[in-house]
A and B are shown apart, each in its own frame.
Chain A
Amino acid sequence: AQSVSQHNHHVILSEAASLELGCNYSYGGTVNLFWYVQYPGQHLQLLLKYFSGDPLVKGIKGFEAEFIKSKFSFNLRKPSVQWSDTAEYFCAVWNSGGYQKVTFGTGTKLQVIP
Chain B
Amino acid sequence: KAGVTQTPRYLIKTRGQQVTLSCSPISGHRSVSWYQQTPGQGLQFLFEYFSETQRNKGNFPGRFSGRQFSNSRSEMNVSTLELGDSALYLCASSLTDSEGAFFGRGTRLTVV
Report A's interface with B, CB cutoff 8 A. 32, 34, 36, 42-46, 49, 51, 90, 94, 96, 99-107
Which residues on the B side are within 8 Å of A36 (C-beta)?
Answer: 103
Main secondary structure of the interface of B (DSSP, over half): strand
Assess the A49–B98 pair: CB atoms within 8 A: yes
Assess the A101–B97 pair: CB atoms within 8 A: no
Assess the A43–B103 pair: CB atoms within 8 A: yes
Q: How far is the CB of B67 from chain A (nearest CB, A)?
A: 17
Report B's interface with A, CB cutoff 8 A. 31, 33, 35, 42-45, 48, 50, 55-56, 58, 90, 92, 97-106
Task: Out of A43, A51, A102, name the residue touching B33 (CB < 8 Å).
Answer: A102
12 additional A-B residue pairs with CB within 8 Å, beyond A99-B55, A99-B56, A107-B43? A32-B100, A34-B100, A34-B101, A36-B103, A43-B106, A45-B103, A51-B98, A100-B48, A100-B55, A100-B56, A104-B44, A104-B45
Which residues on the B side are within 8 Å of A99 (C-beta)?
Answer: 55-56
Assess the B56–A101 pair: CB atoms within 8 A: yes
Q: Kindly state the separation between the CA atoms of A43 and B42 in the bound complex, as whole angstroms.
A: 14
Q: How far is the CB of A21 from chain B (nearest CB, A)?
A: 15
Q: How far is the CB of A44 from chain B (nearest CB, A)?
A: 4
A-B pair number, CB within 8 angstroms: 54
Which residues on the B side are within 8 Å of A107 (C-beta)?
Answer: 42-43
Q: Kindly state the separation between the CA atoms of A42 and B103 in the bound complex, as whole angstroms.
A: 10
Q: Would A43 and B105 be within 8 Å (CB), given that A51-B97, A96-B97, A99-B56 are in contact?
A: yes
Assess the B45–A102 pair: CB atoms within 8 A: yes
Which residues on the A side are within 8 Å of B99 (C-beta)?
Answer: 49
Output the nearest chain A residue to B98 by Cβ-Cβ distance. A51
Assess the A46–B45 pair: CB atoms within 8 A: no
Q: How far is the CB of B26 from chain A (nearest CB, A)?
A: 12
Task: Out of A43, A94, A103, A105, name the residue touching B104 (CB < 8 Å).
Answer: A43
Of A34, A46, A106, A107, most B-chain CB atoms within 10 Å: A46
Q: How far is the CB of A30 from chain B (nearest CB, A)?
A: 10
Which residues on the B side are within 8 Å of A94 (C-beta)?
Answer: 97
- 17 A-B residue pairs with Cβ-Cβ distance under 8 Å, sorted by A, are A32-B100, A34-B101, A43-B90, A44-B90, A44-B92, A46-B102, A49-B98, A51-B97, A99-B56, A100-B97, A101-B48, A102-B45, A102-B48, A103-B45, A104-B43, A105-B42, A107-B43
